[in-house]
Amino acid sequence: MSSFTEKLMAPGSWQLDFDPATPSDILDLSALAFSRIVITPAHIPATDADPDEIVAQARYVGLLRERTGRTRWGGPGLAALLGDEDGKGNTFAAAADDVDLPKYDGGNPSWILTKVLRDAGGGANGITAGDITSTGTPSKEGNIEVGDTPRDTLEWVCRVFSGDKTNPQEWRINPDGTLDQRNKETLWPTAVTPTAIAVRQGGASTHIADGSGLKLIPVVSFGTEGDWDDWSSATMAVGPEVELFGTPYTFTGRDEIADNPFVDIAGDPLVMERVVETNKSKSNADNEDIAARIQGRHENESRHIDFTVDLFDLAEVGQVGDTIWVFDLLDGLTNRSNLIWLAAEPVFPLAARIVEATSPVRDGHGAYLLWWTGSTFELTDVTDYVRPDDRPMRVGVGDPKRLLGLSRPSRRA
Partner 1 sequence: MTDLAPGTMTIGPVGLDVPLRVPDEGQWRGEQVTISGSLGAEQGYSLADSRTLRSQFQGLGSLAQKIIPVRWGLDDVDGFYAVDPPEIKTDGGSFTHGVFDFSVRLTRVRTWQQLVQQERVIGALRSKPTGAVNAHGVSTTNTIAWHSPGVGALGYLVDGETLSDGDTIDTGDGSVTLVWDSAETLFNATAKWQVRPDDFYLGGARILVDEQHDGTFRRVVGDQMSNHPGHWAISNGRLTVQGAADCRIKVGINDGTGWASWKTFQVTYDEALNAFTAEPSIVRVVRNTPERAAVRVVFGTGSALTTLDVALRRGASYAECLLSSSGTVNWGVKLIDPDVSPVPVGWGAIEPGTTHVAGIHATSYDPDGNKVFLASPQVIEPAHPDTCANVGLYLPGTTRQLAWGVGIEAGVDIDTFTDHVWRYFAAQHGHSRPVIA
Site string for partner 1, 10-29 (x = CB under 8 A): --------------------
Interaction between residue 138 and partner 1 (CB under 8 A): no
Nearer to partner 1, 201 or 407 (CB): 201
Q: Please, what is the minimum distance in Å from the beta carbon of residue 203 to partner 1?
A: 8
Radius of gyration of the chain (CA): 23
Report how far residue 392's alpha carbon sits from residue 79's, in angstroms, rounded to the nearest whole number.
26
208 is an interface residue for partner 1 by CB under 8 A: yes
Q: What share of the chain is helix, strand, coil (3-state, %, to 5)?
A: 15, 40, 45
Please list every residue from 302 through 341 that binds partner 1, using CB under 8 A.
329-330, 334, 336-337, 339-341
> Phi, psi (5° rounding) for residue 40?
-115, 155
Query: Where are the extended beta strands (E) located within 281-406?
Result: 302-309, 323-327, 340-342, 345-347, 350-360, 366-372, 377-381, 393-398
The distance of closest approach from Cβ of residue 218 to partner 1 in the complex, given in angstroms and rounded to an integer, is 13
CA distance 329 to 106: 49
Which amino acid, one-letter code, is at 144? I
Q: How many CB atoms lie within 10 A of CB 112?
A: 27
Residue 351 CB, shortest distance to partner 1, in Å, is 14
Question: CB-based burial of residue 15 (10 Å sphere; 0-12 exposed, 13-18 middle, 19+ buried)?
Answer: buried
Size of the residue set binding partner 1 (CB under 8 A): 23
348 binds partner 1, rule: CB under 8 A: yes
Give the residue, chosen from 343, 363, 372, 407, that forms a contact with partner 1 under the rule CB under 8 A. Answer: 343
Q: Rounded to whole angstroms, how far apart are CA atoms 413 and 402?
A: 20
Contact status: 212 vs partner 1 (CB under 8 A): yes
CB of 248: closest distance to partner 1 in angstroms? Answer: 56
Does 344 engage in binding with partner 1 (CB under 8 A)? yes
In the list 107, 138, 202, 248, the residue contacting partner 1 (rule: CB under 8 A) is 202
Residues forming the site for partner 1 (CB under 8 A) = 202-205, 208-212, 329-330, 334, 336-337, 339-341, 343-348
